[in-house]
A and B are shown apart, each in its own frame.
Chain A
Amino acid sequence: MTWRELLLRAYPRSWRDEYGEEFAGLLAQRRLTFAVVADVLSGAARQHLNRDAPWKICGAGLFLWTCIGLLLGGSPPFSGAAVPFTILVAGTWTGSLKNLGVREAIAMSGRVVLAGVSPDLIVGLLRGPVTRYTDSTLWHQWGLYFGTSLTISRWDYFSMMLTFTLFESMLFGLAGAIMGRFVAGLREGLRGDVGGVA
């Protein structure tokens, strides 16, 4: 794969289907300088913001946040606090754009969580059995902890993380969808008021 093809891949698929061929033709006629690469990447970011579903953007944000958390020491609370917040944002954002049903809200927030915390899950699996202590753990906050330390197997870690995050996604996904409906209603009301005044 060439650099130009890689740059084209940075754009959303729906955009590539529409403009990909002519854009590739244009890129082929330009020398790839740093300024051109930066310009193309910034264009790709804007297309993602304009075209992608909110869950993709929120999932990507949470993914980055989790990666930073792992690089800084990998404490579960680092990504833990961000997970419900991101699901709420994604739910409210999507819900304000369209009337989300219960199943849709859960599916959307599940995607956000799975995309966002996947580095944590993968690192947990690769790392193997881990011991967590009371002063820096999430486990004792869940009520699953007895004693001064807890050693868990990689599969226990994986299934606990997965169960907890999926439960979280259901709870906060629904809350986000409800808030989204409220925001959409508020916006409609404001639009009506402005129309009435006009």
Chain B
Amino acid sequence: MTAGPASDPELLILSSLAGGPKHGYAIMQEIAVFSGVDLGPGTLYTAITRLVDEGWIEPAEASGRQRPYRLTDKGLDYLRGQLEKMRQLASFGLRRLRTV
């Protein structure tokens, strides 16, 4: 898959966490399944660190060595806004394509 808004690591992680709390490895696996993007560990944790710093996700109760993360209300609003923008862009682009 080529780079673009749909392969932005932060949006992919937020989309994955919208389905419930997950730890790093589970997030990586789910992203590979639903988007075909194979996030490397460095990229994944760079994005997770930024999302935590922004307050869009937060750590949940740790289970063993892995610590799950969950979406915050702020993160949910951000994700909703970004996906809405992508939806508008997609529908505009598709409308234009019909006239070609």
| In-complex Cβ contact of B42 among A21, A22, A29, A39 (8 A) | A39
Contact stretch, chosen from B43-51, B71-79, B81-89, B90-98 = B43-51
Contacts of A22 in B (CB 8 A): 23-24, 65-67
Q: Are A25 and B49 closer than 8 Å at their CB atoms?
A: no
Q: Are B66 and A47 closer than 8 Å at their CB atoms?
A: no
Encode contact with B along A1-45: 1 for CB under 8 Å, 0 otherwise: 000000000000001000101111111011000011001111110
Q: Verify if A191 is at the interface (C-beta below 8 Å from B).
A: no
User: Taking the nearest CB of chain B, how far is it from the CB of A20, in angstroms?
Assistant: 10
Q: How large is the interface on B (under 10, 10 to 19, 20 to 34, 35 or more residues)?
A: 10 to 19
Q: Are B40 and A39 closer than 8 Å at their CB atoms?
A: yes
| In-complex Cβ contact of B46 among A21, A25, A29, A47 (8 A) | A47
| Residues of B56-73 contacting chain A, CB below 8 A | 65-67
Q: In this complex, what residue of A is CB-closest to B42? A: A43
Q: In this complex, what residue of A is CB-closest to B28? A: A26
Q: Verify if B36 is at the interface (C-beta below 8 Å from A).
A: no
Q: In this complex, what residue of A is CB-closest to B41? A: A26
Q: How large is the interface on A (under 10, 10 to 19, 20 to 34, 35 or more residues)?
A: 20 to 34
Contacts of A47 in B (CB 8 A): 46, 49
| In-complex Cβ contact of B41 among A15, A39, A46, A50 (8 A) | A39
Contacts of A30 in B (CB 8 A): 41
| In-complex Cβ contact of A21 among B25, B28, B65 (8 A) | B65
Contacts of B67 in A (CB 8 A): 21-22
Encode contact with B along A70-103: 1 for CB under 8 Å, 0 otherwise: 0000000000000000000000000000000000
Encode contact with A along B14-50: 1 for CB under 8 Å, 0 otherwise: 0000000001110010000000000011111110110
Contacts of B66 in A (CB 8 A): 22, 25-26
Contacts of B49 in A (CB 8 A): 15, 19, 47, 50
Q: Are A25 and B25 closer than 8 Å at their CB atoms?
A: yes
Q: In this complex, what residue of B is CB-closest to A42? A: B42
Q: In this complex, what residue of A is CB-closest to B27? A: A26
User: Taking the nearest CB of chain A, how far is it from the CB of B84, in angstroms?
Assistant: 25
Given A25-B65, A26-B24: A40 and B46 interface contact (C-beta under 8 Å): no
| In-complex Cβ contact of A36 among B25, B40, B45, B48 (8 A) | B40
Given A25-B65, A26-B25, A29-B25: A19 and B45 interface contact (C-beta under 8 Å): yes
By a beta-carbon cutoff of 8 Å, the part of chain A in contact with chain B is 15, 19, 21-27, 29-30, 35-36, 39-44, 46-47, 50
Can you list 13 residue pairs at the A/B interface with Cβ under 8 Å? A19-B45, A19-B48, A23-B45, A25-B25, A26-B25, A26-B28, A26-B41, A35-B40, A39-B42, A39-B43, A40-B42, A43-B43, A43-B46
